[in-house]
Structure 1
Amino acid sequence: MCDDNSYLGVSVIMPAYNAEKTIGKAIESALAQTHPKLELIIIDDCSTDDTLKIAQQYAERDTRVQILRNEQNTGVAHSRNCGIQFAQYPWIAFLDSDDTWHPYKLEKQLFTVMETGASLCYTSYALVDEKGKKVRPDYIVPIRTNFNLLLKENIIGCSTVLVSSEVMKVYHFQSDFFHEDYVLWLEILKAGYEAVGCPDVLTDWCYRENSRSYQKGKSLKSRWNIYRDCVGLSLGKSVYYLICYSIAGIRKYGRGGTWKIQ
């Protein structure tokens, strides 16, 4: 599809903590990408199960796999930032250790950013359980978003993102917020960088009822803190965007057919 972009390398950042049940599939989905030039940087956050051992087995078989290990458990934001520091390619992609990619994911995204000149690209995704069975309708993203639209709803899933390494030299994940990736996307778009979407479902996001996304009370509080403390919105605007976020969340996690954002 995008042979002219085959020379563009992608550094894949994968934080991992006690992910022995899922990390193998995540790693395999990254290494099976049709885009030929990539490195996979796995950051083990002091796992107490066999996560590190499994990752090392893949590293022994494939030189594209690199492993870092935190000296102490520091969380996903710090782990991603550490991986970014070791990234050597002009594009960076994020893949959590319980998510997986479809084979053409990076290839289609590189084609999109080369065609549009955007600095960030996100994709639609399926919501699945640990066995890969769909548990919610596919989440179909719009082909464009901006800072104001993102305040209403975070349409950018972290494991779907491809972003310029030049951007990531300036911005980083902040561990002070519950949704550290959302804060980062807001900062990037507020600074004027362009983000575009691939409407194709190219990522399978592992959705669990005990996940952070399922903790709606904590998510609402976090979103309020982001609006007020991080973005600096007024009280009125914060209330408005929190209502928008709540409505979008109800639709996103409701059952039924595929829901497409208009």
Structure 2
Amino acid sequence: MQDYGLVSIITPTWECASFISETIQCIQSQTYTNWELLIQDDCSTDGTDKVVQEFLVPEVQDVQRSKGDPRIKYECNVQNLGAAVTRNNALRRAKGRWIAFLDSDDLWEPEKLEKQLRFMVEGGYKFSYTCYREIDNDSRETGVVIRGPKHVSKLGMYAFCWPGCLTVMYDHQAIGLIQIADIKKNNDYAMWLRVCQKADCYLLDEVLAKYRRGRVGSISTHGYSTMIKWHYKLWHEAMGMSHVASLFWTYMNLVCGVYKKLFFLSTSRASS
């Protein structure tokens, strides 16, 4: 297998003891093995750290007993700081040419990294995403598959957040370090808005990831009025736009959200 360089996988964690083990294992099952997993915990209190510890190489290593993976690296914030700052902290630790993202309860198919890297290198792309399917809290498929446009320009990214965070990869050498404003929601969208200043985004039209829908606190569990408020904050506070411009792009996000549901979301009978 061709070595495309080190992939830094960004995984912020908070109160995810029930899911993080499955997420780590799906990364360890990748056919592409040149990666580092950067887990950045936001002061979880549910024992997330103890679950992660089982995958780490201990500081005082007993070679015969240790089953830790040296590619997995864990840090905890000094205090609870929120998802945006937690991702920023992990990104500053990244050493890889490539940056990929996987939240602490989502999953990848085994060939996700290998296929996406080949797609980007052969196409000369610096920023890409893939299709994904939804699963529930018991990891059962819901039958929903989400796709997107094959090419997303800067203007297209402003119109809507097309990539699912768990599917994104970009070339760290070409894009550089990304740091975003401290906003509670839409912080992944804020990152893509920064990345698209330097590179268009391209779709690898394969279903290579699984998104766990319905999590407590997930943006997908809130009503439209709350979502409108968060979108406005993204444009006004994180992107520094005027009141009028923020309202315009919030409106465009809502319109394109309807468009996405009509043309890029498919539903079939869920797996039993």
Contact 1:137/1:258 (<8 A) preserved: yes
Kept in 2, the 8 Å contact 1:141–1:198? The answer is no
Q: Give the aligned residue type for 2:241.
A: G
- Asked if the contact 2:183–2:234 (Cα under 8 Å) also holds between the matched residues in 1, the reply is no
One-letter amino acid matched to 1:59: L
Determine helix, strand or coil for the equivalent of 1:59: coil
1:31 aligns with 2:31: no
User: Does residue 241 of structure 2 align to residue 232 of structure 1?
Assistant: yes
Residue 11 of structure 1 is aligned with which of 2, 8, 18?
8
Identity among equivalent positions (%) equals: 28
- Cα deviation per residue 1:172-213 (whole Å; 9 max; x = unaligned)? 132135211111211221x23122111111111111164223
Rounded to whole Å, the distance in 2 between the matches of 1:253 and 1:165 is 31
Q: 1:86 aligns with which of 81, 93, 105?
A: 93
Q: Which residue of 1 aligns with 2:113?
A: 106
Which residue of 1 is the match for residue 204 of structure 2?
198
TM-score by structure 1 length?
0.87
Q: Secondary structure at the match of 1:13?
A: strand
Task: Give how far 1:97 is off.
Answer: 0.3
1:85 and 1:143 mapped to 2: Cα distance? 30
More helix by share: 1
Q: Tell whether 2:78 aligns with 1:71.
A: yes
- Structure-1 separation of matches of 2:162 and 2:6: 26
Identify if the C-alpha distance between structure 1 residues 176 and 234 changes in structure 2 by more than 3 Å, giving closer, same or farther. closer
Structure 2 match to 1:156: 163
* Structure 1 unmatched ranges of 5 or more: none
Which stretch shifts more, 164-173 or 54-63?
164-173
Distance 1:171 1:7 in 2: 21
Output the CA distance in 1 between the equivalents of 2:153 and 2:41: 33
Offset, 1:252: 5.2
Aligned 1:158-173 pairs, distance under 5 A: 158-166=165-173, 169-173=176-180
Tell me, which stretches of 5 or more residues in structure 2 are unaligned?
Answer: 58-66, 268-272
8 Å CA contact retained: 1:59, 1:65: yes
Q: Does the CA-based 8 Å contact 2:30-2:112 persist in structure 1?
A: yes
The separation in 2 between residues aligned to 1:144 and 1:161, in whole angstroms, is 14
Inter-partner Cα distance in structure 1 for 2:139 and 2:190: 28
Over the aligned positions, Cα root-mean-square deviation in angstroms equals 2.4
Q: CA deviation at 1:67?
A: 0.9
Deviation digits for residues 241-260 of structure 1 (CA, Å, limit 9, x no counterpart):
43442244346568x9717x
Quote the Cα distance in structure 2 between the aligned partners of 1:248 and 1:209.
Answer: 24
- Cα distance change on mapping 1:199 and 1:36 into 2, 3 Å: same
- The equivalent of 1:258 in structure 2 is 266
| The one of 123, 142, 145 aligned to 1:135 | 142
How far residue 128 of structure 1 moved from its aligned partner, in angstroms, is: 1.4
Among 120, 127, 131, the alignment partner of 1:124 is 131
CA deviations 1:67-89 (Å, max 9, x no partner) are 11111111122122222222221
Question: Quick one: structure 1 residues 77 and 33, their matched pair in 2 at CA, closer, same or farther if it must change by over 3 Å?
Answer: same
Matched position secondary structure for 2:73: strand
Matched, 1:43 2:52: no
